[in-house]
Structure 1
Amino acid sequence: MYLSHQTWPELGDYVAEESTAVVPLGSTEQHGPHLPLATDYLIAEALAREATDRTNVLCTPPVRIAVSEHHRQFHGTMWVEPGVFRDYVESFSRNLTYHGIDRIVYVNAHGGNTQHLREVGRRLRRDETAYAIEWMWDESIPDLVSSIFEHNGPHGGPKETAMIMHIAEELVRTDRLEAARDGGLVDLTEADVRQFGSRTYYDSPDNSENGVFGDQTDATPEKGAQLFEAASDQLVHLIEWLDDQPFEDLMPKPHVDPQPGSRR
């Protein structure tokens, strides 16, 4: 059920019976010379729509601009400050709770959002408003991702390339796959990212001249379909699990006994 396509009475009928919502989040940022800036939010929305269609759970419109300052040197990248992002997500999440939602899955496809979504979830849980959790698609199927790509990459690599080939193949510049590979960093072990135990990079171009990692020529639409199906299954399982949990079991545990075992 896509929230934006419903009427308010139809949504009233939904929250009379259900209290779970799914929110897709991505970014608008560079993904190399071969992928669109929309890559992350396209993946997040496609997975969220697929899983909510299968579970009849509410799906909101996607969040398209997020925490991406580390890609700012590349044309077109848009971002907001981390605090602004956290406050914005918390605000619309509380808006959902006003309408009767008490559990939320943030379907995330951008690594820069992860820690901030976790923090928002902590805030909402702390005052027992809602239980909100972050889900990152590739982290739900790590063994599959590792097994089908020899040189994977955390950004603009073959996994994201394959996913967009499956979701929106017309947006992939297939004639630039070799350029993406040759102008980026194929093997992450070759990156000089630490000195004496300290991480010495902040921005994407510190490690990759064209902003991407891995071997993009290893991506195919068939591999993208395999990833999409496997990740969708994981998201469906998560939604069904969350929907089944008693709300009180999702809330924080009580303060520990100050003197456990003592007699009073």
Structure 2
Amino acid sequence: MYIADETWPELGDYLEDESIALVPLGSTEQHGPHLPLATDHIIAEAYAREAAERTGYLCTPTINIGVSPHHRQFHGTMWVDAPTFRNYVESFTRNLAYHGIDRVIYVNAHGGNVEHLREVGRHLRDEEVLYAIEWMWNDSIPDLVDDLFDQNGPHGGPKETAMIQHLRPELVREDRLEDARDGGLKSIDEAETTKFGARTFYDAADNTDNGVLGDQTDATAEKGEQMFEEATAQLVKLCEWLDSQDFQDLMPKKHV
């Protein structure tokens, strides 16, 4: 169920029986010469909508701009400062709690959002407003991603390329896949991004000239479909698990 398609009486009927909402979040940022800036929020919305369709739970509109200053050197990248993002997401989530939602899954497709979504979830849980957790699609199927790609790349690599080939093939610049591979960083190990235990870079441009990593020519729509199906199944299981929990069991434990 997509919240924006419903009327308020219909939503009232939903909230009489259910209290879960899926919130898709992504980014609008560079993904190399071959993928659109919309890559992350396209993926997040696709997962959230599909899981909502399969389970009947509520899906909210997508938050399209996230914490992306580490991609700012590339044209078109948009971002908000981390405190602004956290405040917005928390306010948005309290909004849902006001209407009767007491558990939220942040369906996330941008690595830069992860720590901030977890912080928001902790804050809301500590106040016993509701229980909110972050879910990242590729983290739900790590073995499959590793099996499908020799160099999957953490950003703009074959796993994201394959996902967009499956979800929105018309947006993939297929004639730029080799450029993406050859002008980027094929292996993160080659970047030597840590020295003596310290992470030594802040921006994507510190490591890659065109903003992406991995071998994009290893991507296919078929691989994208396989990942989409497997990760959606994981998200559906998460929804079902969350629905089965007693709310008080999800809240902070008492002091020992």
TM-score relative to the length of structure 2: 0.99
In the alignment, what sits opposite 1:206?
206
Distance in structure 2 (CA, Å) of the matches to 1:246 and 1:24: 24
- 2:9 is the counterpart of 1:20: no
In the alignment, what sits opposite 2:220?
220
Q: Deviations over 1:109-129 (max 9, x none)?
A: 000000000000001100111
In the alignment, what sits opposite 2:151?
151
Q: Which amino acid aligns with 1:61?
A: P
Distance in structure 1 (CA, Å) of the matches to 2:193 and 2:77: 23
> Any gaps of 5 or more consecutive residues in structure 1?
257-264
> Any gaps of 5 or more consecutive residues in structure 2?
none
Identity of aligned residues (%): 70
Q: Deviations over 1:74-114 (max 9, x none)?
A: 00000000000000000010000000000000000000000
Distance in structure 2 (CA, Å) of the matches to 1:59 and 1:120: 19
Q: How many residues align?
A: 256
Task: State the 1:52 CA deviation.
Answer: 0.7
Distance in structure 1 (CA, Å) of the matches to 2:108 and 2:114: 7
Task: State the 1:17 CA deviation.
Answer: 0.8
In the TM superposition, what are the counterparts of 1:108-257 in structure 2 within 5 Å? Answer: 108-256=108-256
Task: State the 1:195 CA deviation.
Answer: 2.6
In the alignment, what sits opposite 2:83?
83
Distance in structure 1 (CA, Å) of the matches to 2:2 and 2:172: 26
In the alignment, what sits opposite 1:261?
none
In the alignment, what sits opposite 1:260?
none
Task: State the 1:199 CA deviation.
Answer: 1.2
Task: State the 1:250 CA deviation.
Answer: 0.3
Distance in structure 1 (CA, Å) of the matches to 2:121 and 2:187: 34
Q: Which amino acid aligns with 2:7?
A: T
Distance in structure 2 (CA, Å) of the matches to 1:3 and 1:115: 26
| Runs of 4 or more consecutive aligned structure 1 residues displaced over 3 Å after TM superposition | none
Task: State the 1:198 CA deviation.
Answer: 1.8
- Secondary structure of the 2:238 match is helix
- Secondary structure of the 1:30 match is coil
Q: Deviations over 1:177-207 (max 9, x none)?
A: 0000000000111112123322110000100
- Secondary structure of the 2:168 match is helix
Distance in structure 1 (CA, Å) of the matches to 2:187 and 2:96: 43
Q: CA RMSD in A?
A: 0.5
TM-score relative to the length of structure 1: 0.96
Q: Which is greater in Rg?
A: 1
- Secondary structure of the 1:28 match is coil
Task: State the 1:13 CA deviation.
Answer: 0.6
Task: State the 1:33 CA deviation.
Answer: 0.2
In the alignment, what sits opposite 1:62?
62
- 2:70 is the counterpart of 1:53: no
In the alignment, what sits opposite 1:262?
none
